[in-house]
Amino acid sequence: MSLPAIEVSGLSKRYVIEHESRHDSLRDTLHHAARKVWRRARWGTGFEKEEFWALRDLSFTVEPGEIVGVIGRNGAGKSTLLKILSRITEPTAGRVALRGRVASLLEVGTGFHPDLTGRENIFLNGAILGMTRLEIRGKFDEIVAFAEIEQFIDTPVKRYSSGMYVRLAFAVAAHLEPEILIVDEVLAVGDAQFQRKCVGKIKDVTRGDGRTVLLVSHNIATVANLCSRVLWLERGRLRSFGPTEQAAEAYLRQFSPEHSLAFATAALPRDQRHMGGLTIVSVELNAGEPLVNREAVSARIHFKTSKALTDVSFGLGFANTDGTRLITVDSDFHLERRDLPAGCTGYVELRLASLDLGPGTYCLDTGARSGEATPLDYLPSFGVTEVHPRSGAPAGFAFLGGGVRASAQWHWVTL
């Protein structure tokens, strides 16, 4: 039996945060000054200190060739975990065993020297991974073609756009044959076509080469599509680690209780690069009435703006719990775009004449953009809801295969 590719035991990471208090009264000022002298004598600094545990007593193993998703709210400890596994940050306690070469794609700007060209950075990264120049040359053309930056390969990467940078960084990390690939949310910077290429490449390297992938994402649909197991972090601790479907559904249900039809979304985790002057604060489905197959459904998407915006459109999607999108409703489909002033609040309402989904549990996502492609806010998999069978449906109706119930006209002929 082979040893785990990643083995984590009792992992903890502590940070010490310093605070300086401010006081208005003379009495408080003198008291604070006395305490500051005492703290300087004891700690070597006059500031108050607070301990913050980003990770606490994490233990898990990842097998060779496995794709594992890491999920959790902002501040749950996901990025700290990846930095420790990537040997960027030292743990406070615990043990990490990594069996194989590790390539990390954590954030735009990591891993490349800005003054070197794309070509030079490819060879530099390959050398860091322990590859010979001959091995890197064998992969060079494939990397450049995948990244789609042939024209700029001899340009210093500091002049690259964020999209170009991420395309090259992912191509290098995926093609230079590390045994362990660690990927953070950076793929959200790429366009939809490139994200599909990345998903396909991740599947290829794990299936064909048996490489191990650790993937952090707020997009539960992506996690469900790629990962066999999910590691769920909450306040630095391991909430659960198990099969993707159960973990993803449990994670989503914390944002929306069973059969919920109203979702507060303002505080949900989202990629800050998708924030552009508009925040979706809540979504209400069907005025609180249950969603029923083949019956009309409505939704209100409430929002607020922080700056003036032009050509704004909204969308709402329904997906299976495995991440497969089934229905997309987009105001842009009907040329419904509006200009919005700064500092306004409001909602956009949509109505469907018939909800052609079979009875079951579905994931929801929503978003807003300006113009053709400028993202303003995006909430992948912000909640789950139930669709119920319509009155009079046969008993076996809920067990028919497929998620979409298409409307059709039937013509019967008997001979």
Taken in order of first residue, the domains within the chain and their CATH numbers are: 63-252 (3.40.50.300), 262-391 (2.70.50.60)
308 pLDDT above the threshold of 60: yes
Q: Which range is least confidently modeled, 201-205, 230-234, 365-369, 391-395?
A: 391-395
Which pair of tokens denotes residue 311?
A: 């050509």
Confidence (pLDDT) at 358? 81
Q: Is residue 197 very low, low, confident or very high in pLDDT (cuts 50, 70, 90)?
A: confident
Tokens of 14: 């502590």
339: pLDDT strictly greater than 60: yes
Instruction: Give me the pLDDT at residue 254, please.
Output: 66
pLDDT of residue 42: 59
Q: Go through the chain and tell me how many residues it has.
A: 415
pLDDT in tens, 101-140: 887 777 655 668 889 999 998 998 888 777 788 888 998 9
Task: Compute the distance between CA of residue 145 and CA of residue 168 in angstroms, rounded to an integer.
Answer: 10
Amino acid 17 reads I
Q: What is the pLDDT of residue 153?
A: 92
pLDDT of residue 8 exceeding 90? yes
CA angle, corner 53, sides to 51 and 55, nearest 5? 165
| Residue of 271, 281, 336, 287 lying closest to 306 (CA atoms) | 281
Least confident of 34-48, 152-166, 214-228, 298-312: 34-48
Q: Are 261 and 284 in contact (CB under 8 A)?
A: yes
Tell me the one-letter amino acid at 16: V
Between 24 and 235, the more confident residue is 235
pLDDT beyond 90 at 60: yes
Q: What pLDDT score does 275 carry?
A: 63
pLDDT value at 228 more than 60: yes
The DSSP H or E segment spanning 244 is helix 244-253
Contacts of 386 (CB under 8 A, 6+ apart): 258, 259, 290, 291, 359, 360, 361, 362
Whether pLDDT at 39 is above 90: no
pLDDT, mean of residues 144-152: 89
pTM for this entry: 0.62
Q: How confident is the model at residue 7 (pLDDT cuts 50, 70, 90)?
A: very high
Confidence bin at 30 (pLDDT 50/70/90): low
Secondary structure element (H or E) that encloses residue 119, with its range: helix 118-128
In this prediction, residue 97 carries a pLDDT of 92
59, pLDDT greater than 90: yes
User: What's the CA gap between 286 and 107, in Å, rounded?
Assistant: 39
- pLDDT at position 126 is 82
The residues, any chain, with a CB within 8 Å of residue 140's CB and separated by 6 or more, are: 119, 122
Partners of residue 232 on adjacent β-strands: 71, 240
What would the two tokens of residue 107 be?
A: 């954030």
Q: What angle do CA 94, 248, 314 make, to 5 degrees?
A: 125
CA distance to 309, 364, 391, 396, per residue, from 403 (Å): 36, 14, 18, 14
pLDDT at 206 over 80: no
Predicted local confidence at residue 46, as pLDDT: 47
Q: What are 71's two structure tokens?
A: 């999920």
The amino acid sitting at 270 is R
Which pLDDT score, from 0 to 100, does residue 155 have?
Answer: 92
> Is 90 exposed, middle or buried, given 0-12, 13-18 or 19+ CB atoms closer than 10 A?
exposed
Mean predicted lDDT score pLDDT of the chain: 80
Whether pLDDT at 9 is above 90: yes
Residues 6+ away with beta carbon under 8 Å from 97? 4, 6, 7, 8
| Average of per-residue pLDDT across 55-66 | 91
Please tell me the distance from the alpha carbon of residue 19 to that of residue 36, in angstroms, as a whole number.
Answer: 11
Exposed / middle / buried, residue 186 (Cβ in 10 Å: 0-12, 13-18, 19+)? buried
Q: What is the pLDDT of residue 6?
A: 92
Convert the pLDDT of each residue in 85-106 to its tens digit.
988 889 999 999 998 888 777 7
pLDDT in tens, 269-303: 665 555 678 999 999 988 888 888 888 999 999 99
Indicate if the pLDDT at residue 168 is higher than 80.
yes
180: which strand partners?
102, 212
Query: Residue 247: what pLDDT?
Result: 80
Q: What is the largest CA-CA distance in the chain?
A: 102
Q: How far, in Å, CA of 104 to CA of 123, rounded?
A: 16
Buried b (16+ CB within 10 A) or exposed e, 264-282: ebeebbbbeebebbbbbbe
The answer to whether 99 and 3 have CB atoms below 8 angstroms apart is yes
Model confidence at 402: pLDDT above 50: yes
- What is the spatial distance between Cα 319 and Cα 384, in angstroms, rounded to a whole number? 9
* DSSP string covering 101-118: -EEEE-STTSSS-TTSBH
233 half-sphere exposure, CB direction, 13 A CA radius: 31
How sure is the predictor about 10, in pLDDT bands with cuts at 50, 70 and 90? very high
Is the pLDDT at 351 greater than 50? The verdict is yes
CB environment 150-176: b (16+ within 10 A), e (fewer): eebbeebbeebeeebbbbbbbbbbbbb
Please give the structure tokens belonging to residue 216.
Answer: 């952090």
The pLDDT confidence band at residue 320, using thresholds 50, 70 and 90, is confident
User: Above 80 in pLDDT, residue 64?
Assistant: yes
Three-state SS at 63: coil
